[in-house]
Amino acid sequence: MPRAFGMTPLRLRLLVALAVAPGAELCGADIARDADLTNGGVYMALHDLDKAGWLQSRWEEGDPKHLGRPRRRFYRITSEGLKHTVAGVLDDHPAFRPPSR
């Protein structure tokens, strides 16, 4: 992963969508839907999160000819991903910011 890898609003939304059900595997389209995002940039961000170890992914088993569609890639959040999600929410959410003086 590049040195500059870190939290972005897009990555945080994707992580939160997966963190609501840790252990569940979701395909990219379902994650995008749950995060209320269009597909633009979603798959590259999921790839980056997977490469960083914040997600685990696997390809759906089965032959696309028998499935009648392309195989899906499923993602699940890791404990490292959960840690970064909590930190990102705490940093981002106004309720956790110190009061301005």
Q: Provide the CATH number for the domain formed by 9-62+69-92 in this structure.
A: 1.10.10.10
Give dist(CA 19, CA 4) in Å, integer. Answer: 23
Whether the per-residue pLDDT at 56 is higher than 80: the answer is yes
Helix (H) or strand (E) holding 40: none
Domain extents in the chain? 9-62+69-92
| Closest of 87, 70, 68, 67 to residue 16, by C-alpha | 87
Q: Which is more confidently placed, 76 or 98?
A: 76
Q: Which residue has the tokens 């991903």?
A: 81
Q: How sure is the predictor about 46, in pLDDT bands with cuts at 50, 70 and 90? A: very high
Question: What pLDDT is stored for residue 64 in this prediction?
Answer: 87
How many Å from the N-terminal Cα to the C-terminal Cα in the chain? 39
